[in-house]
Amino acid sequence: MNEVREQVRQRYALAAVQGGDQGCCSGASCDPEQIVVDEKFGASLYSAQDAVSIPAEALAASLGCGNPLAVADLRAGERVLDLGSGGGIDVLLSARRVGPDGFAYGVDMTDEMLELARANATKAGATNVEFLRGTIEDLPLDDAVVDVVISNCVVNLSTDKPAVLAEAFRVLVPGGRIGISDVVAEDHLSERDRAERGSYVGCIAGALSRSEYVQGLAAAGFADAEVTFTHEVAEGMHGAIVRARKPLAAH
């Protein structure tokens, strides 16, 4: 495992054990000089309706920077994959939306997060979910097995983003879609500018710019890529919704 990925794993293992305050750019482990206030990450980004539909522990474990469910437009019977599922909030919400004929997978590399997510699924009584150990750069799923890929504040943490987008494309059925929340930089910010605004493990330094995201999705084979900024999390850096589609003719 590369060094940065190991730092990310350790950071989120601690978050799983100690609670959301150690998470993505919130709480004591981010430099307050550099970055954000807590309302820009985590549970407050979910609607009251979503919040009451899952166990309080799952909501409290949220370390995301948006609500990918708000744009994924999930339908009954669909199969969903959450990249970097953490404490499981988006998997549990997806499972409710797709209903008993659908299924929601979560993939995460951090054992402590998988344990937390599985405990939250048990509390929620969810039977149409599975949390798998693995990396989002090398997904433990066969080709063309899900209709929708979601993710919440994880792609920015990857040290190999082309591999993540290629893997998302591979596991989607033709005609499938990706709808993710992530931190995204304005195009004029250099990598150094981004690093000045926050740490890699805190979801800031590793963020792609809007153009880099759109180009990366196109390079992986996606069509109709779009990035919409939703709220600023640091100067020139935004929580964003990223959407694209796997063409019907793709393999």
Residue number, 2 or 249, with CB nearest to ligand SAM: 2
Look at strands 208-209 and 172-185 and give their pairing: parallel
Residue number, 116 or 189, with CB nearest to ligand SAM: 116
Q: Which residues are bridge partners to 110 per DSSP? A: none
Answer yes or no whether residue 91 interacts with ligand SAM by CB under 6 A: no
Chain position carrying tokens 């499972």: 95
Answer yes or no whether residue 234 interacts with ligand SAM by CB under 6 A: no
Q: Which residues of 35-53 are buried (b: 16+ CB within 10 A; e: fewer)?
A: bbeeebbbbebbeeebbeb
Using CB under 6 A as the binding criterion, the count of chain residues that bind ligand SAM stands at 27
Distances, alpha carbon 160 to alpha carbons 39, 175, 227, in Å? 28, 25, 19
Min separation Cβ 116 and ligand SAM, Å: 9
Start-to-end C-alpha separation, the chain: 30
Residue number, 7 or 212, with CB nearest to ligand SAM: 7
Min separation Cβ 202 and ligand SAM, Å: 9
Q: How far apart are CA 142 and CA 172, in angstroms?
A: 9
Answer yes or no whether residue 179 interacts with ligand SAM by CB under 6 A: no
Answer yes or no whether residue 233 interacts with ligand SAM by CB under 6 A: no
Distances, alpha carbon 176 to alpha carbons 1, 25, 65, 68, in Å? 30, 31, 23, 15
Q: Of all residues in this chain, which one has the CB nearest to ligand SAM in the complex?
A: 86
| Residue selected from 8, 98, 172, 217 as contacting ligand SAM according to rule CB under 6 A | 8
Residues 109-168 that bind ligand SAM (CB under 6 A): 109-110, 113, 135-137, 152-154, 157-158
| Residue selected from 59, 63, 95, 205 as contacting ligand SAM according to rule CB under 6 A | 63
Answer yes or no whether residue 86 interacts with ligand SAM by CB under 6 A: yes
What are the residues whose beta carbons fall under 8 Å from the beta carbon of 164, sequence distance 6 or more? 83, 136, 137, 155, 158
Q: At what angle do helices 111-124 and 89-98 cross, to 10 degrees?
A: 40
Q: Which residues bind ligand SAM (CB under 6 A)?
A: 5, 8, 12, 23-24, 62-64, 84-87, 89-90, 108-110, 113, 135-137, 152-154, 157-158, 203
